[in-house]
Structure 1
Amino acid sequence: MRQVERSIFDLRRGLPVLVRDARDDSARATLVAPLEGMNDDALARLAEHAGNDCALALTRHRLALLGIEVDDEAACLPLTTADSAASVIEWACARQPSAAPARDTREITDNDAAALTLMRRGLLIPAAITVPVAPERMATVEARIADGSLLALDTRSIANYEQNAPRFLRRISAADVPLAGSEQSRFVLFREADGMREHVAIVIGEPEEWADAVPVRLHSACLTGDLFGSLRCDCGEQLRSSVARIAETGGGVLLYLAQEGRGIGLANKLRAYSLQDEGLDTVDADHVLGFGDDERNYNVALEMLSQLEIRRIELLTNNPNKIDAMSRGGVTVVQRSGVYGRLTAQNRRYLTAKAAKAGHWLDHVLGTAPDDVPATDN
């Protein structure tokens, strides 16, 4: 656990880590580095330290933008010494790279796939520089591991961390916080094992007075909408209306989840906003950056509900994925109720894409005029 957590922080600082294939002792270890902060000198040092040419691991969504179709979820573009860091970064995240790479991809290894998992976990662009370490360079790399200047971890620990991290969610603190829509509210803060994400359960009313099917809202954090009232979405209105509705029905829980931008993080959400300003919808913008339709999972929400001893719920949502996630996780969704904000000229395209591409139940909303009708949930 600790090695994975430490490696995430190193990658977010722009430092490389070493990944070993836990299932194949004969496989080469791989140096892995993020795109953020990459320059020509850093790219050359990676190749020199490993004694091999680097490669760029990309998801199929990003490769499709480059005109490369692959059957797997990701593949690698081999790099040469002639490739500049600026070109590599363009291939990974620019909407229209000045020149697409004219070369064949190679199949992704377990080490490469683990590198992409680490990038996602660290809320970085889902792309990685990877380079297998040549046998003659391994002694030098091992010396760096021994002196603490390079972290090493294996693919099994990364997979186990991704699967089991929600089980290590800890309840940290709690306090009564009267809200405008619900004066009897208590905030309970949960922290993930790596310390990067904190989630809040807003417990409304007295649990012993709740309905058998507890009203629950899963609300993904939206700094721009929740705090600043962005017109690009309706998240702030949903947040406040959910609190008020739960209070009116006798109490329940709103889970405020640190899943900004459908799980891609604030930095990438702002990158996606810039792409949307160039004409892309919300889903296509995420694809350009290499992400899927929706990067969220709700395992943390399930763990929070478990610690709050909630098993039967009325789910406040228009998102079918949330219902499926709760049901698969052993929480019984007795009833679904919609949660709405206003449809505006600025959020219509966003909501239309969510209805058409993510299956949100919005037909009756999108058929009406902006500014005076309800919109959707995040």
Structure 2
Amino acid sequence: MHQVERAIFDLRRGLPVILRDDEQDVLVQPIESLDDGILEHLIATAGEAPGLVLSRHRLALLGKSIEHETARLPLSPAMLATERLNELAFSVDPESVSQDIVSASRADHAALTLMRRALLIPAALTARVAKASRETVEALIGQGELLSVTVSDAERCFEAANGLLKRVSEAQVPLAEAIESRFILFREPDGLREHVAIVIGDTAAWQNAVPLRMHSACLTGDLFASLRCDCGEQLRNAVADIDDMGGGVLLYLAQEGRGIGLANKLRAYAMQDVGLDTLDADQHLGFGEDERRYSVAVDMLAALDIRQVQLLTNNPIKIAALTAGGIEVTERQALYGSLTEQNYRYLNAKAKRAGHMLDGVLENYERLGGE
């Protein structure tokens, strides 16, 4: 999987990579880094015009409904321009497209899997390598100017990290809400993400079912006290609650913006400012309702020898994910922050559309004169 890890970093740098299987070599270019020069080079290298691969969420915005997760939009000469491609991939209200879409190949689907793993917009140009261009492409691969990975490895780029989390470093870090706290840092094998387990209290005195909070990183809320969410308050309340319960663990997971990354979260915020709710904004960018994966949390708990937990959460998906990973959830405890004028729409969408258990809190806010 080392080639896939290198490919992820190349894609984040804006470089194309080759996806290959038994049928065809495909040149993949992230849409994020596209300019006219890169587009011309892509076509010249592949020897064929590219298509635009998009997720079903983004295609729905273009008036194209599909059953599968991805599809490919053939590009007419008029559409082979950076401005038009960026509109198709990024705009809140892009012009619809009249031409038919075609089914995505395995390589097309794998390309968007790599984009998600690289925390890039799930949109990519894919160009089949023409027969006349194969010798040139092989030379570029041989010279190290172009990286190739197999489609099967790219398809497994999320699952390949399971069980390979590395415990890197640790130290005592007394917190305002829990004086006896130890930070343990874990790193994923591709080096892209690091997660922290905050061990609170004396482990010898813990309950059999360890109090646990799985908290996804939120730079804007956790660090800067953003009013758009309640994440910062939830974080500090969780530390205090775990300390009051005799100690336990808070897993601070590098899954900003429900797993889409900070850059895309800020793009989604901009879309919310023109009227979309938090879930629709993510889907307009091409993402699903929640892109987080909790296998890393299961691996961290295994490293800490924890098999039974009391979970502090309002999210039923977290309960299901731990249970599927072999962790027994004996009890759920609700965890709230303050509801405000600025975060009401965000929390309301989570409750009404994503199933978070917040109805009582929202109803109370409405009775007190909120929206």
User: TM class by shorter-chain length?
Assistant: over 0.9
**TM-score, with structure 1 as normaliser:** 0.95
The answer to whether the 8 A contact 1:28-1:134 is kept is: no
* Per-residue deviation, 1:207: 1.3
Which residue of 1 is the match for residue 331 of structure 2?
Answer: 335
C-alpha distance in 2, partners of 1:279/1:366?
20
1:223-265: CA deviation from partner (whole Å, max 9, x where unpaired):
0000000000000000001001101111000000000000000
The size of the alignment, in residue pairs, is 368
**TM-score, with structure 2 as normaliser:** 0.97
Which residue of 2 is the match for residue 326 of structure 1?
Answer: 322
Which residue of 1 is the match for residue 60 of structure 2?
Answer: 64
C-alpha distance in 1, partners of 2:37/2:76?
14
C-alpha distance in 1, partners of 2:155/2:48?
26
Which residue of 2 is the match for residue 73 of structure 1?
Answer: 69
| Residue type of the alignment partner of 2:194 | E
* Per-residue deviation, 1:273: 0.2
Q: Give the 5 Å matches for 1:187-226.
A: 187-226=183-222
Structure 1 residue 129 corresponds to structure 2 residue 117: no
The answer to whether the 8 A contact 2:53-2:123 is kept is: yes
Which residue of 2 is the match for residue 355 of structure 1?
Answer: 351
Q: Which moved more, 1:31-40 or 1:173-182?
A: 31-40
C-alpha distance in 1, partners of 2:35/2:98?
21
* Per-residue deviation, 1:72: 1.0
* Per-residue deviation, 1:175: 0.1
The answer to whether the 8 A contact 1:220-1:257 is kept is: yes
* Per-residue deviation, 1:81: 2.9
| Residue type of the alignment partner of 1:65 | L
SS of 1:339's equivalent in the other structure is: coil
The answer to whether the 8 A contact 2:63-2:97 is kept is: no
Which residue of 2 is the match for residue 19 of structure 1?
Answer: 19
SS of 1:256's equivalent in the other structure is: strand
Structure 1 residue 9 corresponds to structure 2 residue 48: no
* Per-residue deviation, 1:370: 7.0
> Which runs of 5 or more structure 2 residues have no equivalent in the other structure?
none
> Which runs of 5 or more structure 1 residues have no equivalent in the other structure?
374-378
Q: Give the 5 Å matches for 1:1-378.
A: 1-21=1-21, 25=22, 27-83=23-79, 84-97=81-94, 99-369=95-365
C-alpha distance in 1, partners of 2:158/2:131?
30
SS of 1:168's equivalent in the other structure is: coil
- Once the two structures are aligned, what percentage of the paired residues are identical? 57
C-alpha distance in 2, partners of 1:226/1:176?
20
The answer to whether the 8 A contact 1:344-1:370 is kept is: no
SS of 2:24's equivalent in the other structure is: coil
* Per-residue deviation, 1:38: 0.3
* Per-residue deviation, 1:159: 2.8
The answer to whether the 8 A contact 1:283-1:353 is kept is: yes
1:284-326: CA deviation from partner (whole Å, max 9, x where unpaired):
0001000001000100000000000000000000100000000
| Residue type of the alignment partner of 2:6 | R
| Residue type of the alignment partner of 1:91 | L
The answer to whether the 8 A contact 1:342-1:370 is kept is: no
SS of 1:193's equivalent in the other structure is: coil
* Per-residue deviation, 1:162: 1.8
The answer to whether the 8 A contact 1:56-1:130 is kept is: yes
| Residue type of the alignment partner of 2:120 | L
* Per-residue deviation, 1:121: 0.4
C-alpha distance in 2, partners of 1:108/1:120?
16
* Per-residue deviation, 1:372: 8.4
| Residue type of the alignment partner of 2:231 | C
C-alpha distance in 2, partners of 1:372/1:227?
29
Change (3 A) 1:86 1:371: farther
Computed over aligned residues only, the root mean square deviation of the Cα atoms, in angstroms, reads 1.3
| Residue type of the alignment partner of 1:89 | N
* Per-residue deviation, 1:206: 1.4
* Per-residue deviation, 1:371: 12
SS of 2:266's equivalent in the other structure is: helix
C-alpha distance in 2, partners of 1:233/1:371?
20
C-alpha distance in 1, partners of 2:93/2:40?
25
SS of 1:167's equivalent in the other structure is: coil
